[in-house]
Amino acid sequence: MSHQPAVATKMSGEMDKPLIGRHLDSDGSLAEAPSGAPKVGILGSGDFARSLATRLVGSGFNVVVGSRNPKRSAGLFPSAAQVTFQVDAVSSPEVIFVAVFREHYSSLCRLSEQLAGKILVDVSNPTEQEHLRHRESNAEYLASLFPTCTVVKAFNVISAWTLQAGPRDGNRQVPICGDQPEAKRAVSEMVHAMGFMPVDMGSLASSREVEAIPLRLLPGWKVPTLLALGLFVCFYAYNFIRDVLQPYVQERKNKFYKLPVSVVNTTLPCVAYVLLSLVYLPGVLAAALQLRRGTKYRRFPDWLDHWLQHRKQIGLLSFFCAALHALYSFCLPLRRSHRYDLVNLAVKQVLANKSHLWVEEEVWRMEIYLSVGVLALGTLSLLAVTSLPSIANSLNWREFSFVQVK
């Protein structure tokens, strides 16, 4: 079998985009990494390996990819990355990313000799069932297969899409764990160079915890959702007393029919406004605190820090309540009670012998609701189309890949 390296050809589409300040060749592909740049190996040629290679090349690393079939995979990688057979790819780099699923780790054992003494970065994520089935984390399993290597867990919380699109504020942190401080430092420096923020999570024994992070769906939503629900209950109770109970007690008027639609609709904007103010308030408090302390280099108290971190979720819930309010208001005239009101109005009009009826307030209300409803629907569909991957990311669907496949 020939072990000739097959050098990657130019990739198309999204993968051509420069990442961190790297210049492009005239043909639009990523330029060669400067000679003398640190060499990094990647085992595997799947979605994650491709995005990782693109970002590493863009961050100035010399990348060599090890594939079982380099000829087939070469065209999918940036031209600056070298795609070759696994055994050739692992011989010179000191740090090797294992972008392969856990069930295939054992197939790499034949490389044990070449891998001896190297740093292996485990990027894998178990599924929920795998996480429950195996007591030992993927990283610990890899370490047991390669006792002569140093295993570091990193990058599992970063999706292939985030690697391609570049880090954003919400997903910049990369938890790292490993037993050797030197190896952890080397990987942390790479994480930094790629534009992410390393977070030390301790020894390799913590890797099970790190591997569980992407399994948590909707992280950071519990408190804001409970807050929104609490506000809803309070405002609903207030509106019920004001609009239904009080007329019943004072005037014996039965307005209980208002409970499912009208009272809910009056409650929604109250919740939306309070939530919106809770998005802006912590920023003001943080600024005031910094002014009082005279420095911005001191940690905020925990409660304020948590509050600041939940602003995105609170804001989205506020938008959700406002959109629901627009929808409910749009549906108000569909109610039978509204038709009775109209008939009553018409009867009154006949009795009063008036020829023309035009309730200005009603007319304006409907025009505005319709306009807001259409605008909200348009904005929502635009948002859904343009930011589906980032929404998926914020919901923590980490494995959501948007990788250009040739």
Ligand X SMILES: NC(=O)C1=CN([C@@H]2O[C@H](COP(=O)(O)OP(=O)(O)OC[C@H]3O[C@@H](n4cnc5c(N)ncnc54)[C@H](OP(=O)(O)O)[C@@H]3O)[C@@H](O)[C@H]2O)C=CC1
Helices 302-309, 311-331: inter-axial angle, 10-degree rounding? 50
Residue 44 as a binder of ligand X (CB under 6 A): the answer is yes
Instruction: Yes or no: say if 129 and 102 are a contact pair by the CB < 8 Å rule.
Output: no
CB of 257 to ligand X, least distance (A): 51
Question: Which one among 22, 39, 68, 311 touches ligand X, defined by CB under 6 A?
Answer: 68
Mark the segment that binds ligand X (CB under 6 A) among 41-49, 197-205, 223-231, 266-274: 41-49
Q: Which residue is nearest to ligand X (CB)?
A: 46
Q: Considering beta carbons, is residue 85 or 235 the nearer one to ligand X?
A: 85
Work out the burial of residue 392: count CB atoms within 10 Å of its CB; fewer than 13 is exposed, 13-18 middle, 19 or more buried. Answer: middle
Residue 125 as a binder of ligand X (CB under 6 A): the answer is yes
Sites for ligand X among residues 206-235 (CB under 6 A): none
Question: Which one among 3, 71, 104, 406 touches ligand X, defined by CB under 6 A?
Answer: 104
Residue 376 as a binder of ligand X (CB under 6 A): the answer is no
CB of 316 to ligand X, least distance (A): 23
Mark the segment that binds ligand X (CB under 6 A) among 23-31, 99-107, 180-188, 308-316: 99-107
Residue 265 as a binder of ligand X (CB under 6 A): the answer is no
Instruction: Yes or no: say if 134 and 366 are a contact pair by the CB < 8 Å rule.
Output: no
Measured CA to CA, the distance from residue 8 to residue 89 in angstroms comes to 13
CB 302: neighbour CB atoms within 10 A? 8
Q: Considering beta carbons, is residue 67 or 188 the nearer one to ligand X?
A: 67
> Residue 27: which residues within 8 A CB-CB, separation 6 or more?
10
Residue 107 as a binder of ligand X (CB under 6 A): the answer is yes
Sites for ligand X among residues 70-89 (CB under 6 A): 73
Q: Considering beta carbons, is residue 157 or 322 the nearer one to ligand X?
A: 157
Nearest residue to 174 (alpha-carbon basis) of 58, 55, 63, 61? 55
Nearest residue to 41 (alpha-carbon basis) of 52, 25, 31? 52
Mark the segment that binds ligand X (CB under 6 A) among 118-126, 171-179, 233-241, 308-316: 118-126
Question: Which one among 8, 40, 74, 123 touches ligand X, defined by CB under 6 A?
Answer: 123
Question: Which one among 12, 69, 112, 344 touches ligand X, defined by CB under 6 A?
Answer: 69
Q: Cα 325–330–336 angle (5° rounding)?
A: 115
Residue 57 as a binder of ligand X (CB under 6 A): the answer is no
Mark the segment that binds ligand X (CB under 6 A) among 40-48, 192-200, 262-270, 345-353: 40-48
Instruction: Yes or no: say if 1 and 391 are a contact pair by the CB < 8 Å rule.
Output: no
Sites for ligand X among residues 134-163 (CB under 6 A): 156, 159-160
Using CA atoms, how far residue 316 sits from 88, 128, 171, in Å, is: 49, 27, 17
Question: Which one among 100, 151, 183, 275 touches ligand X, defined by CB under 6 A?
Answer: 100
Measured CA to CA, the distance from residue 255 to residue 372 in angstroms comes to 28
Residues in the interface with ligand X (CB under 6 A) total 24
Mark the segment that binds ligand X (CB under 6 A) among 21-29, 119-127, 197-205, 362-370: 119-127
CB 175: neighbour CB atoms within 10 A? 21
Instruction: Yes or no: say if 271 and 231 are a contact pair by the CB < 8 Å rule.
Output: yes
Q: Considering beta carbons, is residue 66 or 224 the nearer one to ligand X?
A: 66
Mark the segment that binds ligand X (CB under 6 A) among 39-47, 53-61, 371-379, 384-392: 39-47
Residue 112 as a binder of ligand X (CB under 6 A): the answer is no
The tokens describing 88, both together, are 């050739």
The tokens describing 344, both together, are 């009553």
Across the beta sheet with 95-98, the strand order is 6-7, 82-85, 62-67, 39-43, 95-98, 119-122, 150-153, 173-178, 197-200
Chain residues in the site for ligand X (CB under 6 A): 44-49, 67-69, 73, 99-101, 104, 107, 123-125, 156, 159-160, 398-399, 401
